[in-house]
Amino acid sequence: MLRRAGPSLRHFLLERKSSAGYSSYSGEVKMSRPVQAQRLEGIDKNIWVEFVKLAATYSTVNLGQGFPDFPPPDFLKEAFVRALSRENHMLHQYTRAFGHPLLVKILAQLFGKLLGRDLDPMTNVMVTVGAYQALFCCFQAFVDEGDEVIIIEPFFDCYEPMVKMAGGMPVFVPLRPKAPQDGKLMSSADWQLDPAELASKFSERTKAIVLNSPNNPLGKVFSRGELELIADLCVKHDVLCISDEVYEWLVYDGKEHIRIASLQGMWDRTVIIGSAGKTFSATGWKVGWTVGPNRLLQHLRTVHQNSVYHCATVAQEAVAQGFQRELELYGKPDSYFIQLSKELQQKRDWLVQSLDAVGMKPIVPEGTYFLVADISEFESDVPDVPDSDEPYDSRFAKWMVKNKGLAAIPLSAFYCGAHKNNYNRFIRFCFAKEEATLKAANDILQKWKREKTRP
């Protein structure tokens, strides 16, 4: 073996690097130039990291993060097992990048029926890694540097950083609560857009609006009138609509979920986003999709192709089988979509009663599996810290999980930085939980109430 005389090659290289602006310490070379891309500035903090950790550390009852603690339906689990154990070992390999053929075919069939139009599985549907990736593809594909994107507050929190990462400017417009009639509980329907305020947010720079109906965190299901208002503005200003409909099957009290893409002038400018995680109670599978016109989806395919490329084949196969069953049972009592929303409505009613009984006033959701409650009556237990930057509801939620073992998410997490203190006396609960979990939450609240009222 050849050996160099004098200092080793490694030593020689280290010295070269130090003199070129790198620092070395104990032989370890560290970079001194900034590594973070500028587009990440200001978006590095994330509510979920902190609250998921708090819940894992302190909670005995977790109604925080949005996932069911009950299993997906048997037919779906069985479909997964069948897909795994079938002779066809190709289900363990890559499938078609823009969606497993069986899944895009069934999605095109179902959404074609729902939208009343013929859909081409290959060009009008694209499968994604959960709805998250569908959203990411939309912002990357449509938003240019300086484009404005209208976001309705409160909003699913990732919209804002995703718009910013694409170089866009989020423009926020709030749903404003109006007082309920005397003696009535507030409903998510009482939170409405001010039409003039919404119209004022549209400008020449507006590229898209993000609509989330049914809405996380309020559970608001936008009415036909509200959707028409948004649609008219989209058409007038030639704006795209990114329509996050992941809770499309979770609507209560006979309320109808209306797809904005079905309104006049909207198909051509709307991308519908869905999630098997929410639809089939299997959030860990991370199967999502987009449905829309090819002229929009072709650009999503470019982002998808050059980022994740592909989603897990077996999970797609099982979700396809799940949809096949649902299509056969469509509108029938045995349909999982019908059964799930029936069960969740009962859970919603139960949590509404439980919160109302202790004075944590619930805003009754029309859809989703979330419920927002007013914590004002509990303020004396969790004193305010004057001059703190942290919104009160965030401190309240942290105190609650640490002292009462009950995890929830502060509503301020669903507002932009500048508006976090506008509605900071509310927390969000997820009620997609087993009866025992909801009962345990009720026990905590009842005990807390008794301790409050004890002389």
Question: Which residues are near ligand PMP by CB under 6 A?
Answer: 66, 130-132, 156, 212, 216, 244, 246, 275, 277, 283, 288
- Provide, rounded to whole angstroms, the least separation between the CB of residue 326 and ligand PMP: 17
- Provide, rounded to whole angstroms, the least separation between the CB of residue 111 and ligand PMP: 16
Q: Return the residue nearest ligand PMP (CB atom).
A: 130
Q: Are 134 and 289 in contact (CB under 8 A)?
A: yes
Place of tokens 């890694």: 129
Q: Which is nearer to ligand PMP, 370 or 396 (CB)?
A: 370
Q: Measured on CA atoms in the order 147, 164, 409, 308, is the torsion positive or negative?
A: positive
According to DSSP, the residues that pair with 206 across neighbouring strands are 148
Q: Distance (Å, rounded) from C-alpha 132 to C-alpha 267?
A: 22
- Provide, rounded to whole angstroms, the least separation between the CB of residue 288 and ligand PMP: 4
- Provide, rounded to whole angstroms, the least separation between the CB of residue 414 and ligand PMP: 10
Q: Are 291 and 272 in contact (CB under 8 A)?
A: yes
Q: Which is nearer to ligand PMP, 131 or 397 (CB)?
A: 131
In angstroms, what is the C-alpha Rg of the chain? 25
Q: Distance (Å, rounded) from C-alpha 7 to C-alpha 370?
A: 66
Q: How far is CA 433 from CA 29, 63, 65, 66, in A?
A: 50, 8, 11, 10
- Provide, rounded to whole angstroms, the least separation between the CB of residue 130 and ligand PMP: 3
Q: Which is nearer to ligand PMP, 51 or 378 (CB)?
A: 51
Q: Which is nearer to ligand PMP, 284 or 333 (CB)?
A: 284
Sorted by sequence, the CB contacts under 8 Å of residue 132 that are 6+ apart come out as: 158, 286, 288
- Provide, rounded to whole angstroms, the least separation between the CB of residue 283 and ligand PMP: 5
Q: Which is nearer to ligand PMP, 392 or 414 (CB)?
A: 414
Q: Which is nearer to ligand PMP, 303 or 358 (CB)?
A: 303
Pick the closest to residue 245 from 334, 115, 148 (CA basis).
115
* Both tokens assigned to 169: 């400017």
